[in-house]
Amino acid sequence: MKNLIFIILTTFATYGCYSQTEKKITMDSTKKDNPVSSPTDSTRAILTDEEYKKVLSPEVFYVARQKGTERPGTSKFENFKEIGTYYCAVCGNALFKSDTKFDSGCGWPSFYEPISKGSIIYLPDNSHGMNRTEVECGKCKSHLGHVFEDGPPPTGLRYCINGVVLDFEKAKVAEKTYNDQQAKPTDKH
Ligand SMILES: [Zn+2]
């Protein structure tokens, strides 16, 4: 029962991020059997671990689905400075903007703030004799990393994220994708 409430809340949080237009499309949709599918991409949903194993690379599966940790200093995103958006590599959920990324020196890509409240889930993690807060993707519940309270202003938080579970899209590419999607439904001529 607790899980069900959690899923419902998560679903609401996810749907809350989309515009009215997209919401309308969702409501008109006849596919109501999958509460976690995205309003904009029905192919993205929560899969079983067996299914994830087939579609994800071994590195992504290990971190995202088995709560693994990539070796520090190995992510191409650790010192990456491009302007754009970081997405969940498993489901495509938008997670962080590049302007909230900072050099923490901890060995993993670090951000001080997620892109929206619903983009991330927080869970207590008492493994390895430590009291930490795990962060998971708000949409597919894949393990991303941990959040610590030693980050810079304005939040004072440090989201320490495994780069292997991140996908990056440059600002101009993201803008073009967005504009293309907006242009599709209505043909003005
Ligand atoms: Zn995800």
Residues 91-119: tens digit of each pLDDT: 999 999 999 999 999 999 999 999 999 99
Instruction: Determine the pLDDT at residue 185.
Output: 62
- Highest mean pLDDT: which range of 15-24, 32-41, 163-172, 175-184: 163-172
Instruction: Determine the pLDDT at residue 132.
Output: 97
Instruction: Determine the pLDDT at residue 94.
Output: 97
Binding residues for Zn(2+) are: 88, 91, 137, 140
pLDDT at 48 over 50: yes
CA count, 13 A, side-chain hemisphere, 110: 21
Distance (angstroms) between ligand 1 centre and the Cα of 131 equals 24
Distance (angstroms) between ligand 1 centre and the Cα of 188 equals 34
Instruction: Determine the pLDDT at residue 45.
Output: 58
- 8 Å CB contact between 112 and 152: yes
Instruction: Determine the pLDDT at residue 172.
Output: 77
Instruction: Determine the pLDDT at residue 186.
Output: 56
Length of the chain: 189
Distance (angstroms) between ligand 1 centre and the Cα of 121 equals 10
Other C-beta atoms lying within 10 Å of the C-beta of residue 103: 11
Which fold is adopted by the domain 41-183? 2.170.150
User: How many whole angstroms separate alpha carbon 86 and alpha carbon 109?
Assistant: 11
Distance (angstroms) between ligand 1 centre and the Cα of 16 equals 16
Instruction: Determine the pLDDT at residue 129.
Output: 95
pLDDT at 54 over 90: yes
User: How many whole angstroms separate alpha carbon 8 and alpha carbon 1?
Assistant: 11
**Where in the sequence numbering do the catalytic residues fall?**
160
- 8 Å CB contact between 87 and 137: no
Total-model pTM: 0.70
Distance (angstroms) between ligand 1 centre and the Cα of 185 equals 26
pLDDT digits (tens, 9 = 90+) for 58-85: 999 999 999 999 999 999 999 999 999 9
Backbone phi, then psi, for 90, in 5-degree steps?
A: -90, -45
Instruction: Determine the pLDDT at residue 155.
Output: 98
Q: Which secondary-structure segment (H or E) carries 50?
A: helix 49-55
Distance (angstroms) between ligand 1 centre and the Cα of 7 equals 14
Averaged pLDDT for residues 44-53: 83
pLDDT digits (tens, 9 = 90+) for 4-42: 444 444 444 444 333 333 333 333 333 334 334 344 454
Instruction: Determine the pLDDT at residue 19.
Output: 38
Neighbours of ion ligand 1 (CB under 5 A): 88, 90-91, 93, 137, 139-140, 142
Q: What is the DSSP string of 70-131?
A: PPTT--TTTT----EEEEETTT--EEEEGGGEE---SSS-EESS-SSGGGEEEEEE-GGG--
